[in-house]
Structure 1
């Protein structure tokens, strides 16, 4: 089995929270990718994420994915720690991965402040686990959606998945690989979040399982139903080409690079205008209604995560 724990196992994990601390404002919970900790009059936002499958840009993706979770919670990412595991004594790979981490963190203005590196012969591929921290004036949760709100998506579905398909499956996708590889430059949602956090009641960075899983996690965290139509979700042409070639659904592949935000209905036009002024594409993709933690996609009710379509390609 590859990927996230099923909801039952995850519930067991997040129930084990150690000592009580009144300064922990948001702790482990389904759908919440970051913790919120009171530090003086501000909030420290902390998130951790592992990455192992996108081997050509492992360090680049690891930095962006960790920073995205912090940004999607209303904070400016500032500090990173990284843990790097290598399957063998391969200095070339170590140099490549840590160089990617250094470059990506520098581009985002984030300092790498510590971590750990070691060789782990039982692994079949390198693995990086990043922890990102940042300060927020106001924490934005995953689970803040309320009936009547609207859903906004930046950039499009499957941005990260497109880049992975173009590199990990270069031979299979052929001439479209070069266009898809350029999507690595769009994985960060830090700027998207700086705009949306001024309006959003909830934000979420769709990673594993793509837009569908990201929306389901938001619905579950808020105890509402999210309703979307597939035709309203932006999917770029090269993403469609690569997904059709490999037989995967663009709404169900790694989705970093997009940001899902829940905003009041009367703010949608203003939000989309501000994104457009910043050179970021965005679209209204659906609405929030009364429900019990489910997603309705073209009327089909989804209440359980189904995993990421890319996993079958690696098996």
Structure 2
């Protein structure tokens, strides 16, 4: 499992978007979290996302991930359309998934307005596809990073990945010698997967925001750099990583910067405003760290992320994918 390359996306996806519509303000584009549609003097942010690999908390994560994409564009998530595919007609599966969807949507103040549910015998685990919508007064794209900006990361790397490892691979981790208390603390990271709180602080000032999901912080930075046509210099040592994340990743042989990263927000802000923005986030109980700087890519070949002597300009495959194969 991996994301399509930018070239394939351009050829087969972004060039095939049906009829033109003047109300579409921001449409499909590499790295963009959501679309923006003009609606009665406001802007409607719309995003859709599938989830299939996190079996234990798929409903909880599904709502968080879909709403995060709206929040990462400065939107306020309000409505959700839920499509559920189950591997069998076991009412227990249906009860668990819909119960998780309902609980997380209520917690985040989101209304599930429609959807579709069916069973597919070809599946071996539940599969969800969720569309989230909400209004904004200021749409913030992934493509807005400017030379001279710095990149902030809220919370820490690998939040979602740590929680999924702790639940889907608990026995493997225990067998590898990870203490049960460490695994339990990492499982509780599910409570930190939403980025709605930091979006409210960042949206008025950020030049770009992005939700690092598949491929983690590293891939999120690549998407941000390529969408903005800039060069990003990443200080990998500055990226905050919780001890639980380090321990779980070491036991499973994965890189904390390359695992599912929902729960953190990448945002670019002018360097002169970074201290004030970090202070504003901290006043809301949210950690934030400057992890990178943005510079002009005078040569197109320089577009991408530069760190530890390497350049990344293609999608980074999530290290966790191999664990399910």
Counterpart residue number, 2:272: 266
Counterpart residue number, 2:50: 50
Q: Distance in 2 between matches of 1:32 and 1:207?
A: 12
Counterpart residue number, 2:200: 194
Counterpart residue number, 1:30: 30
Q: Distance in 2 between matches of 1:111 and 1:155?
A: 27
1:6-155 matches, within 5 Å, as 6-11=5-10, 12-155=12-155
Deviation at 1:172, TM superposition (A): 1.6
Counterpart residue number, 2:226: 220
- Asked if structure 1 preserves the Cα contact closer than 8 Å seen for 2:138 and 2:204, the reply is no
Structure-1-length-normalised TM-score: 0.98
Segments of structure 2 that go 5 or more residues without pairing to the other structure are: 175-179
Segments of structure 1 that go 5 or more residues without pairing to the other structure are: none
Cα deviations by residue, 1:236-295 (Å, 9 ceiling, x for unpaired): 110000001111000000000000000011110011101111001110111101124310
Which runs of 4 or more aligned residues in structure 1 lie more than 4 Å from their structure 2 counterparts after TM superposition?
A: none
Q: Distance in 2 between matches of 1:259 and 1:306?
A: 18
Q: Distance in 1 between matches of 2:184 and 2:14?
A: 40
1:148-187 matches, within 5 Å, as 148-174=148-174, 175=180, 176-187=182-193
- Asked if structure 2 preserves the Cα contact closer than 8 Å seen for 1:15 and 1:28, the reply is no
Aligned residues: 314
Counterpart residue number, 1:241: 247
Q: Distance in 2 between matches of 1:269 and 1:204?
A: 20
- Asked if structure 1 preserves the Cα contact closer than 8 Å seen for 2:305 and 2:311, the reply is yes
Deviation at 1:124, TM superposition (A): 1.7
Deviation at 1:306, TM superposition (A): 2.6
User: Does 2:316 correspond to 1:306?
Assistant: yes
Q: Distance in 2 between matches of 1:4 and 1:125?
A: 20
Cα deviations by residue, 1:137-183 (Å, 9 ceiling, x for unpaired): 01000010010001000000000000011011101212221111000
Q: Distance in 1 between matches of 2:124 and 2:19?
A: 36
SS at match of 1:134: strand
Q: Distance in 1 between matches of 2:89 and 2:254?
A: 35
Worse overlay, 288-297 or 275-284:
288-297
Deviation at 1:3, TM superposition (A): 2.8
SS at match of 1:28: coil
Counterpart residue number, 2:177: none
Q: Distance in 1 between matches of 2:312 and 2:296?
A: 15
> CA RMSD of the aligned region, Å?
0.8
Q: Distance in 1 between matches of 2:173 and 2:148?
A: 41
Q: Distance in 1 between matches of 2:249 and 2:58?
A: 21
- Asked if structure 2 preserves the Cα contact closer than 8 Å seen for 1:80 and 1:111, the reply is yes
